[in-house]
């Protein structure tokens, strides 16, 4: 065990850097292969929650030959408890735009899009201003790259990359079957790199300071720092940049209110960790760190002992029932039945064993749902029901 599992603060994302022009110019003078290698050696993984290696994503798309390719910044931040991407876009937009332009250079794209969730409509004027300024500079250095904003209209599922493409193509935001993956068949059927806002901002850090600076943060398999959106029962809600790999116990000591009963890691689609597991849980991507290691898009919601876990689960399930796109049966019907089921158990219309049936239903959803939404309902459902069974019944 090299790095310790302590909570360590970092300050890269929001650090004001007024040299984005130089970083961009320096980066695009390098060869795509060189940039990809740099990114791969940094071990940056997608910061939206799924954690796909960013360098590999760029590499795969670069290798496909097509005259039209796209770079898309996924700013459809809809996971309950996440609010970091908005802050990045309003505080340091040029880092994201630079990341997009470098990506365009690497894969050979001329057009970029930012898919911004409808709830963030108020960001438009400032963001458009930054984009105009950025494009002006691109022209000055003869970089043929334009960025446009595409507004969402209030649909959580559109954060799923293929649903996002469908939405941009003027259709219902229903996820596609994978494969083909976006690197081959993305927006308008063209090879597309789609990255989370924060991921792109991290590429700026990597291209400016080099991969090593980033790689030195965090622990094995979970390199670098990450923004965490902290909310719920905490005296200091807000956005914090922390190194990956910290133990949840340390996190709770820093952000808890002294009475933390459980933490929801990764939003409604993530896992609920009860107090007895704080010590053995680390926040990172994969590999056994101190026991369980949880990936996260950065949503950390704390609950103290005054909260009813039944109400929490009820709230999540209602969220999923409404946001399920409805195209595949396991997710559409599954979410409805789970919600009905826990209410029936609570009212005493079904006995406690019915919860086990519902748990089996979530297993089925995990196996058969078409996209991450339906598959991940099992995460919060089973972690809440298994750890707080009595609260579901009485």
Partner 1 sequence: MNPVSELIKNLADQHGRNRHNLLPILQGVVEQEKYLSEFSMVEIARELDLPASEVYGTATFYSFLEYKKMGKYIIRICKTITCSMKGKNQILLAIEDMLKIHVGETTPDGNFSLLQTNCLGFCHKAPAMLVNSEVYTDLTPEKVREVLSSYLKKQKEEKV
Q: Is 372 in the site for partner 1 (CB under 8 A)?
A: no
Binding pattern for the stretch 327-366 against partner 1, x by CB under 8 A and - elsewhere: ----------------------------------------
Please list every residue from 29 through 88 that binds partner 1, using CB under 8 A: 77-83, 86
Q: Choose between 251 and 285: whose C-beta lies nearer to partner 1.
A: 251
If one asks whether residue 108 binds partner 1 (CB under 8 A), the answer comes out as no
Please name which of 238, 241, 205, 239 lies closest in space to residue 226, comparing C-alpha atoms: 241
Q: Which residue has the tokens 């597309």?
A: 192
> Which is closer to partner 1, CB of 129 or CB of 139?
129
Closest CA to 144 of 107, 93, 105: 105
* Alpha carbon distance 389, 385 (integer Å): 5
Q: Using CB under 8 A, which residues numbered 119 to 178 contact partner 1?
A: 119-122, 150-156, 167-173
Using the structure block, give the residue that is written with the tokens 């596609």: 176
* Beta strand 218-219 pairing with 222-223: antiparallel
C-beta of 105: minimal distance to partner 1 in Å? Answer: 25
- Please answer whether residues 264 and 238 qualify as being in contact, where contact means their C-beta atoms are separated by less than 8 angstroms: no
Nearest approach, Cβ of residue 80 and partner 1 (Å): 4
Q: CB 333 → partner 1: shortest distance, Å? A: 18
Kindly tell me which of 150 and 181 has the beta carbon lying closer to partner 1: 150
Using CB under 8 A as the binding rule, whether residue 93 contacts partner 1 is answered as no
Q: Between 264 and 293, how does the x/- string for binding to partner 1 read (CB under 8 A)? A: x---x-------------------------
- Confirm or reject binding of residue 237 to partner 1 (CB under 8 A): yes
CA distance 323 to 305: 29
Shortest distance, position 281 Cβ to partner 1, whole Å: 20
* Residue 170 vs 258, nearer CB to partner 1: 170
CA dihedral 117, 123, 124, 127 (to 10 degrees): -110
**Could you give the CA distance from residue 140 to residue 109 in angstroms, rounded to a whole number?**
18
> Of the two residues 88 and 106, which places its CB atom closer to partner 1 in the complex?
88
Minimum CB separation of residue 115 from partner 1 in Å reads 11
275: alpha, beta or left? (left if phi > 0; alpha if psi -120 to 50) = alpha
The kind and range of the H/E element at 218 are strand 218-219
Residues with Cβ < 8 Å from 275, sequence gap 6 or more?
A: 260, 261, 262
Task: Tell the smallest beta-carbon distance from residue 18 to partner 1 (Å).
Answer: 27
From CA 240, how far away is CA 228, in angstroms rounded?
A: 5
Give the count of residues interacting with partner 1 (CB under 8 A).
Answer: 49
Candidate residues 222, 229, 376, 379; the one interacting with partner 1 per rule CB under 8 A: 229
What is the C-alpha R_g of the chain?
A: 21
- Comparing CB distances to partner 1, the nearer of 80 and 245 is 80
**C-alpha to C-alpha distance for 329 and 342, rounded to whole angstroms:** 19
Binding residues for partner 1, rule: CB under 8 A, are 77-83, 86, 117-122, 150-156, 167-173, 188, 229-233, 237-239, 264, 268, 301, 307, 311-312, 315-316, 319, 322-323, 325
């Amino acid at each position: 065990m090299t790095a310790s599992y302590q909570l360590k603060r970092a300050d890269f994302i929001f650090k004001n850097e007024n040299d984005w022009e130089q970083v961009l110019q320096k980066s695009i003078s390098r060869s795509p292969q060189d940039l990809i290698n740099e990114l791969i050696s940094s071990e940056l993984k997608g910061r939206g929650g799924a954690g796909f290696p960013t360098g590999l994503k760029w590499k795969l798309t670069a290798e496909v030959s097509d005259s039209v390719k796209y770079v898309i910044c996924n700013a459809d931040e809809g996971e309950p408890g996440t609010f970091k991407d908005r802050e990045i876009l309003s505080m340091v937009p040029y880092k994201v735009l630079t990341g997009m332009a470098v990506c365009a250079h690497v894969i050979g794209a001329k057009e970029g899009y930012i898919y911004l969730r409808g709830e963030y409509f108020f960001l438009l004027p400032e963001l458009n201003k930054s984009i105009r300024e950025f494009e002006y500079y691109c022209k000055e250095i003869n970089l043929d790259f334009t960025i446009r904003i595409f507004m969402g209209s209030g649909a959580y599922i559109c954060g799923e990359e293929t649903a996002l493409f469908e939405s941009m193509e003027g259709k219902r935001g229903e996820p596609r079957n994978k494969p083909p993956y976006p690197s081959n068949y993305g927006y308008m059927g063209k090879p597309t790199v789609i990255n989370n806002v924060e991921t792109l901002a991290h590429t700026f850090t990597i291209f400016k300071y080099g991969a090593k600076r980033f790689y030195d943060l965090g622990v094995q398999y979970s390199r670098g720092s990450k923004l965490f959106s902290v909310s719920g029962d905490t005296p200091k809600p807000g956005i914090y940049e922390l190194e990956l790999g910290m133990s949840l116990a340390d996190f709770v000591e820093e952000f808890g209110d002294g009475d933390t009963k459980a933490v929801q890691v990764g939003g409604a689609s993530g896992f609920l960790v009860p107090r007895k597991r704080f010590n053995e849980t680390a926040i990172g991507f994969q590999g056994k760190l101190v026991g369980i290691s949880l990936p996260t898009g950065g949503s950390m919601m704390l609950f103290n002992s005054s909260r009813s876990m039944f109400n929490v689960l009820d709230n999540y399930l209602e969220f999923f029932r409404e946001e399920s796109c409805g195209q595949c049966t396991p997710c559409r019907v599954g979410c409805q039945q789970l919600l009905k089921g826990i209410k029936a158990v609570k009212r005493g219309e079904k006995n406690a064993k019915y919860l086990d049936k519902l748990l089996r239903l979530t297993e089925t959803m995990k196996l058969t749902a078409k996209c991450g939404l339906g598959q991940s309902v099992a995460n919060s459902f089973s972690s809440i029901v298994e750890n707080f069974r009595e609260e579901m019944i009485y």
